[in-house]
């Protein structure tokens, strides 16, 4: 099983892409996220990575109405992240239709709370967002650096039952320069060494062409998040749909 997961990043309710997480380097691609989501569903994709960039920067969910619209008007399996810091936030995300929630900053800044969510909602609904810059995890909408490496963070939660991780190499995000294959190989090796062979690792950041998808699948990853490469026409939806069907013929 390998999933190609389109990303919709939200600022002021619109679909945008940043470059290396820089809010000053924003490009708006669509004012109607629901129509974009419907286009992904129409070609047979089953998942969506929805990120509330306003929430990530402000410290609380902002674009919950967009989440609700997409969740109620499509059949997509939505994983939602950005601004989820409190118990009320994660409750709101699930009530608005998220199937899964991605937590990044909270996992670094408040591990006790993140572990509580993992136990309360289960490892199939909680995703760790391990987004790194120069090897270290970045938090607060990628505006702050932590002192923990991506591998350290992932392994610490894998020992607590975590089953799903999305990892972004921030320097590649929005650059269309290719994913950090080395990063994913290193994480996979560390997980295998510790016996966590069933953890689902999803790549994010830098996808530039169809060959990148083939290489990531060959690395044994569970999936890849694609954003700018779709918006910029580097990979067609038709090609993604064909690839998705070949990866998951029984779905």
Over residues 204-232, the pLDDT tens digits come to 999 999 999 999 999 999 999 999 999 99
From 3, 89, 131, 173, the catalytic residue = 131
CA separation, residue 108 to residues 144, 182, 183, 242 (Å): 11, 23, 19, 38
Known catalytic membership, residue 131: yes
pLDDT at 151 over 70: yes
Radius of gyration of the chain (CA): 16
Any catalytic annotation for residue 52?
no
Whether 173 has a pLDDT exceeding 90, the answer reads: no
Q: Which pTM was predicted?
A: 0.94
How high is the pLDDT of residue 196?
97
Domain containing residue 204: 3-247
Rounded Cα–Cα distance for residues 36 and 16 (Å): 12
Look at 139 and 69; give whichever has higher pLDDT.
69
Average pLDDT, the chain: 94
The domain tally of the chain equals: 1
Structure tokens, 168: 């972004």
What CATH number has the domain bearing residue 230? 3.20.20.70
- The answer to whether residue 251 scores a pLDDT higher than 80 is no
Q: CA dist 5 to 196, 222, 228, 244, Å?
A: 23, 10, 12, 10
Reduced DSSP (H G I as helix, E B as strand, rest coil) percent helix, strand, coil of the chain, to 5: 40, 30, 30
Given a cut of 70, whether residue 96 has pLDDT beyond it is yes
Q: Which of 3, 9, 52, 212 is catalytic?
A: 9
Residue 186 has pLDDT above 90, yes or no: yes
pLDDT at residue 39 is higher than 90 = yes
Percent of the chain with pLDDT over 70: 100
């Amino acid at each position: 099983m390998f999933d190609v997961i389109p990303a919709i990043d939200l600022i002021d309710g619109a679909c945008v892409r940043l470059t290396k997480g820089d809010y000053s380097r924003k490009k708006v691609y669509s004012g109607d996220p629901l129509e974009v989501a419907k286009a992904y569903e129409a070609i047979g994709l089953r998942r969506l990575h929805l990120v509330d960039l306003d929430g990530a920067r402000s410290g609380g969910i902002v674009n919950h109405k967009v989440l609700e619209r997409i969740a109620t008007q499509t059949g997509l399996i939505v994983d939602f992240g950005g601004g989820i810091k409190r118990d009320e936030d994660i409750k709101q995300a699930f009530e608005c239709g998220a199937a899964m929630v991605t937590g990044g900053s909270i996992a670094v800044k408040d591990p006790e709370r993140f572990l509580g969510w993992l136990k309360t909602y289960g490892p199939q609904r909680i995703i760790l967002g391990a987004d790194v810059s120069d090897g270290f995890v970045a938090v607060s909408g990628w505006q702050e650096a932590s002192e923990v490496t991506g591998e350290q963070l992932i392994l610490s939660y894998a020992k607590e039952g975590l089953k799903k991780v999305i990892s972004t190499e921030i320097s590649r995000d929005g650059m269309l320069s290719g994913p950090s294959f080395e990063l994913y190989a290193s994480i996979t090796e560390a997980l295998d060494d510790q016996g966590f062979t069933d953890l689902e690792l999803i790549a994010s950041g830098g996808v530039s062409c169809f060959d990148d998808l083939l290489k990531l699948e060959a690395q044994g990853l569970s999936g890849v998040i694609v954003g700018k490469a779709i918006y910029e026409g580097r990979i067609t939806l038709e090609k993604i749909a064909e690839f998705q069907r070949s990866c998951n013929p029984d779905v």
